[in-house]
């Protein structure tokens, strides 16, 4: 007697991605989303390499937070990863500047007493 089953294993290595329009889970090779019908961007290496977190832009945002926030406003739709990185580092730079200014001000005030 043959004890082999025709059931597909639960842990298949099928790769999925998500539709940018509706968020549905779709096959990596899909060209159109089966749920909403919107064309799905392929694995375009050029667009993926353009929208990446870049250390130089983050450094600019860290030292000049207002520039980072302006760049976020310009890039947040076209380059979301890059915009998120520069915005986050702008906030880090702003908080560190604010806290260090506050700390130095308190030291100056206390030294005059």
pLDDT tens per residue across span 6-32: 433 445 566 888 888 888 888 888 888
DSSP 8-class letter at 9: P
Instruction: State pLDDT tens for residues 42-81.
Output: 544 444 567 787 889 899 999 999 999 999 999 998 888 8
Collapsing DSSP to helix, strand or coil, 53 comes out as coil
Distance between CA 59 and CA 106 in Å, rounded? 28
Q: Are 42 and 31 in contact (CB under 8 A)?
A: yes
Instruction: Provide the pLDDT for residue 4.
Output: 44
């Amino acid at each position: 007697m043959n004890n082999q089953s025709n059931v597909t294993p639960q842990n298949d290595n099928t790769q999925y991605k998500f539709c940018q329009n509706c968020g549905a889970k779709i096959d990596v090779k899909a060209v159109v989303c089966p749920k909403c019908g919107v064309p799905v961007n392929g694995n375009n290496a050029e667009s993926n390499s353009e929208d990446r977190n870049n250390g130089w832009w983050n450094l600019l945002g860290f030292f000049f937070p207002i520039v980072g926030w302006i760049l976020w406003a310009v890039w947040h739709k076209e380059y979301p990863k890059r915009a998120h990185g520069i915005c986050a580092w702008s906030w880090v730079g702003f908080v560190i500047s604010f806290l260090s200014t506050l700390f130095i001000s308190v030291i100056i005030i206390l030294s005059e007493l």
